[in-house]
Every structure is written in C-alpha cells, then in structure tokens.
Amino acid sequence: MKIKRDKKVNLIRSFRLKIAIYTLISLICTIATDAMILFLFFLYHRQSSNHFLKIQQMRENSSMQQIAVDSQKELYRRIYEGFGLTGSIWLDILILIGFSTILFTAYFILASHNMVNYLREIQMGVERIKDGDFDTNIRVLNEDELSVMANSINEMRYTVKELMEKERMAEKAKNDLITNVAHDLRTPLTSIIGYLELLKNDEQIPSETKSKYLHIVYDKAKRLQSLVVDLFDYTRYAKDGIKIRKGPLELNRFLEQLLEEFYPSFQDEMLECHSNLWKEDIQLQADGELLARAFGNLLSNAIKYGSDGKLIIVETKVKGNWAIVSITNFGQIIPKSDLNKIFEKFYRVESSRSLNTGGTGLGLAITKNIIMLHQGLIAAKSDENGTIFEVSLPLEEKEEV
C-alpha cells in the first residue's frame, strides 16, 4: 500500500482515535471488573450474615435484645474483616484506585498489543536500513500516522538506494573513461614516439622513407587531435553541460548545405549520395552549429562504414509534430546485440575496424547528446535493407492568430 505524501490522515483511521478507543475500552473493562469483584464480595458477605442471624435466633428469648445488639456489632466487624477495610475511608479509596490503575494498565497493554508490535516492526526496519540493508521494505498496513511514517521511510530508502546506485554508476563511468582515454592516447603516442626515434637515430634513412614516416606521424597526431576534440565536445555537449542557442532553422536547406560540404568526402570514397527531402519547408527552433556537428557525425559514420554499399540516402519527412531525418548506408550490417550500445561513449562495433577508420567511439555519443539537448530522439536499425540512423526533432510551434 502506497500513501500519497500530501494526503491528510482520515480522523476515523488515525492513530489518535485508536489511542482514544484503546483508552475507553480499558476504562470500561476496569470499571466492569471492579464492579464484578465488589458484587461478588457483597453476595458472599450477605450469605454469611444471613447464616449468622439464623444461629442467633435459636438462642433464648430472654436474651433476644442483647443478642440482637451483639449480632449487629459482630456483623459490622465481619463485614470490615471480609472486605479488608481498615477503618480509614481514605486509605480504602487509595487501595481501590491503585487496584483499578493496575487493571487499567493491563487492559491497555492487551488492547494496544498490535499497535506496539507495528511500532517495533518500523523500528527494526529503520535499524536494518541504517545498517545498509536498502532492500528492507516496511509493511504499510493502514492509512494512519504510523503507516504514513512507514511509507515515507520506504520512499526515503528507495531514494537513497537510487542515489547510491547513480553514484556507483558515475564512479564506474569515470573509471571507464580514464581507462579508454589512456588506451586511445597511448596507441598513437607509441607510434609517434617510435617513428620519431627512428628519424632521430638513423640519419641515413632515405628521403622517401623519411617522408613516409613523417606522414604516418602526422596522421597519428591528427588522430590524437581528433580524440582530444571529441573528448572535449562530449563533455561540453553532455545533457545540461552547455546552453544551446536556438534560432529559426529550415531543415531542408540546412541539410543541402551540409551535403555540399561533404561532397569531396563522397567523391574520395566513390560514394553516391541521394537526397529525398520533404516537399515543403520544415521549420525548427534549433542551434545550427550543434546540429551541424550531430548530422556531420552521422554522415562521417555513413561514409566510413558504408563505403562498401556505394550509396548513401538522406531523407526528411514530417510526422505529426516531429521532423524526421534518416541517413541510410548499405555497408556492413550492425549486429542486433550492438544496436543498443552504439550510442555509448567509446563503444565500437569492431575495435580493429574502428582503429583503421580512425573512429574514437565518441561520435555517436556526442550526436545523441546534441539531439537530446534539442528534446529530440535518435535510433538506429540495421538489416539487409541497410543501416538507418533516424533522428526526430520537434517542429517549431506555430503561433495562433
């Protein structure tokens, strides 16, 4: 049972009413018990008095008056002894109050037994949570104050557990980041140092070989630069890590300009690029610089891994309140097991292939962050019909006239 935080406790089901009921029940039981005990004493002494009077009537008539007086005195004496009266009315009242208090306490303990057990259960649950057992769940029995407290403790436990899990995941992500960065920096650095040592120690290296080595060193240095830039951008474009500057943007014209910039890259890889753009203008409120980086990453990815297919298709359409951009290549199919992971930082479908193509494993992660900053969505699918990256962006809201 889950109780809303802002819900007021119904008085009929409240802890206060239960205490009042337990008190009333204990008081009624105490009064009834006292009355029953006094009534039993009264019946006993009444029977004793009647028996005593019958015996006295059998005595001689001459002494009847004296006998009656003595009998009355004896009766009073026996009543006092039977009831345990001491002759002091105040002391008798105190004895009765003390006896009634003990009875009332006993009855109250019995009546509130379940409530006390529930309090003890809540206390034990809090103790287990304090000791680090965040799987402990305290039962929520009713809708009284104790149940509200138990429900709040359960919510607190869940929140603390979530925060600890997030902290653990953040620590793991930090360690993974350090490990991956160290690995990706070490590999090109090792090559650069190796080739520079060859150039330094062997002065007889032919100029052609020297030029080849310098070209390799230059490529490795550019790869290092690309990695550093991607690392910086990934951190900068992380959600809430940068404030985007949105402005009016016509999506079709924006993509046409971007495709023109990539035309030399298509030519170098002997790829054809076909565009199938929506027949009408698609107006967005977006940061053009960030979207250029995001779609640039997707096009670069299509060029690197889709060169075997010789064709790239860029398509736009409108569906409801969303503008949808799909970029399709017909290269190697991405395994289904990898599709849900390709947007994670440093994830590579094939490490060796990514190294050969210069991938850092950050491009798609950066793209996802940028799309999310625009309240958009990105997804990928890959089969015999091609590998498709689909981006959905919210359309510009039209002002009502």
Q: Which domains does the chain have, with CATH numbers?
A: 11-59+70-133 (no CATH), 171-239 (1.10.287.130), 247-394 (3.30.565.10)
Give the pairing type, strands 272-276 and 311-319: parallel
Residues 6 or more apart whose CB falls under 8 angstroms from that of 221 comprise 188, 192
Q: What is the pLDDT of residue 69?
A: 52
Strands 247-250 and 311-319: unpaired
Residues in the chain, total: 401
Predicted local confidence at residue 210, as pLDDT: 84
Amino acid 23: pLDDT: 87
pLDDT at 259 over 90: yes
Q: Which two tokens stand for residue 125?
A: 């649950």
**Digit-coded pLDDT (tens) for 206-222:** 888 888 888 888 888 88
pLDDT at 389: 95
- In this predicted structure, the answer to whether residue 159 has a pLDDT above a threshold of 90 is no
Q: What is the SS3 assignment for 9?
A: coil
Among 78, 26, 23, smallest CA distance to 56 is for: 78
If one counts every other C-beta atom within 10 angstroms of the C-beta of residue 314, the result is: 22
| pLDDT, averaged across the chain | 79
Residue 361: how many other CB atoms lie within 10 Å: 21
Q: Which of 10-24, 122-136, 372-386 has the highest mean pLDDT?
A: 372-386
By three-state DSSP, how is residue 238 classified?
Answer: coil
The partner residues of 276 in beta bridges, in order of sequence, read: 315
Give percent of the chain with pLDDT exceeding 70.
79
Question: 46 near 53, Cβ under 8 Å?
Answer: no
Q: Are 233 and 268 in contact (CB under 8 A)?
A: no
Predicted confidence band of residue 51 (pLDDT cuts 50, 70, 90) = low
Question: Does 384 score more than 90 pLDDT?
Answer: no
Helical axes 89-111 vs 15-57, angle rounded to 10°: 140
Contact predicate 314/274, CB 8 Å: yes
φ, ψ at 241 (rounded to 5°): -90, -15
Long-range contacts of 381-386 (CB under 8 A, 24+ apart): 381/339, 382/333, 382/334, 382/335, 382/336, 382/339, 383/333, 384/333, 386/309, 386/313, 386/328, 386/329, 386/330
Mean pLDDT of 335-362: 67
Give the model's confidence band at 351: pLDDT under 50 very low, under 70 low, under 90 confident, else very high.
Answer: very low
Which pLDDT value is given to residue 354?
47
Q: Are 108 and 22 in contact (CB under 8 A)?
A: yes
Phi, psi of 142, deg, nearest 5:
-130, -150
Residue 68 scores a pLDDT above 80? no
Q: What are phi and psi of 182, to 5 degrees?
A: -60, -40
Cα separations in angstroms, 87 against 39, 92, 251, 382: 20, 8, 107, 104
The pLDDT assigned to 294 comes to 92
More reliable by pLDDT, 59 or 154: 154
Q: How confident is the model at residue 258 (pLDDT cuts 50, 70, 90)?
A: very high
